[in-house]
Amino acid sequence: MEKKLFIYNTLSRKKEEFVPLNAPHVGLYVCGPTVYGDPHLGHARSAITFDILFRFLLNLGYKVRYVRNITDVGHLVNDADEGEDKIAKKARVEQLEPMEVAQYYANRYHKAMETLNVLSPSIEPRASGHIIEQIELIKKIFDAGFAYQSGGSVYFDVEKYNKSNNYGALSGRNIDEILENTRELDGQDEKRRSVDFALWKKAAPEHIMHWNSPWSEGFPGWHLECSAMGTKYLGETFDIHGGGMDLIFPHHECEIAQSQAALGHQSVRYWMHNNMITINGQKMGKSLGNSILLDEFFNGNHPLLAQAYSPMVIRFFILQAHYRSTLDFSNEALLASEKGLDRLLEAYARLQKIEAADVSTVKIGNIREKCEEAMLDDLNTPIAISQLFEATRIINLIADGKEKITADDLSELKSVFKIFVEDILGLKTESQNSTKSEAYNQAIDLLLNIRLEAKRNKDWATSDRIRNSLTELGFEIKDSKDGFEWKL
Residues at the contact surface with Zn ion, assessed by CB under 5 A: 31, 226
Phi, psi of 272 (to 5 degrees): -125, 135
Residues 228 and 254 sit within 8 Å (Cβ to Cβ): no
For the chain, how many helices (H) and strands (E)? 16, 15
Compute the least distance from the CB of residue 432 to Zn ion, in Å: 33
Compute the least distance from the CB of residue 482 to Zn ion, in Å: 54
Compute the least distance from the CB of residue 31 to Zn ion, in Å: 3
Compute the least distance from the CB of residue 342 to Zn ion, in Å: 37
Residues 356 and 406 sit within 8 Å (Cβ to Cβ): yes
For residue 473, with 0-12 CB atoms within 10 Å meaning exposed, 13-18 middle and 19 or more buried, which class applies?
exposed
Compute the least distance from the CB of residue 247 to Zn ion, in Å: 6
Between residues 226 and 410, which has the closer beta carbon with respect to Zn ion?
A: 226
Between residues 20 and 244, which has the closer beta carbon with respect to Zn ion?
A: 244
Between residues 31 and 313, which has the closer beta carbon with respect to Zn ion?
A: 31
Between residues 225 and 338, which has the closer beta carbon with respect to Zn ion?
A: 225
Between residues 28 and 384, which has the closer beta carbon with respect to Zn ion?
A: 28
Task: From residue 410, give the alpha-carbon distance in Å to each of 350, 370, 404, 414, 426.
Answer: 12, 17, 10, 6, 22
User: Taking phi first (over 0 means left), then psi (-120 to 50 degrees means alpha), and beta for anything else, what does residue 44 get?
Assistant: alpha
CA-nearest of 414, 412, 395 to 485 is 395
Compute the least distance from the CB of residue 10 to Zn ion, in Å: 14
Residue 431: HSE in the Cβ half-sphere, 13 Å Cα cutoff: 12
CA-nearest of 41, 97, 93 to 73 is 97
Compute the least distance from the CB of residue 175 to Zn ion, in Å: 21
Which residues have C-beta within 8 Å of that of residue 88, sequence separation ≥ 6?
A: 98, 207, 208, 209
| 415 alpha carbon, distance to own chain's centre | 25
Compute the least distance from the CB of residue 194 to Zn ion, in Å: 21
302-315 burial string, b = 16+ CB within 10 Å, else e?
A: eeebeeebebbbbb
Between residues 31 and 101, which has the closer beta carbon with respect to Zn ion?
A: 31
Between residues 9 and 115, which has the closer beta carbon with respect to Zn ion?
A: 9
Between residues 133 and 190, which has the closer beta carbon with respect to Zn ion?
A: 133
CA-nearest of 47, 12, 2 to 28 is 47
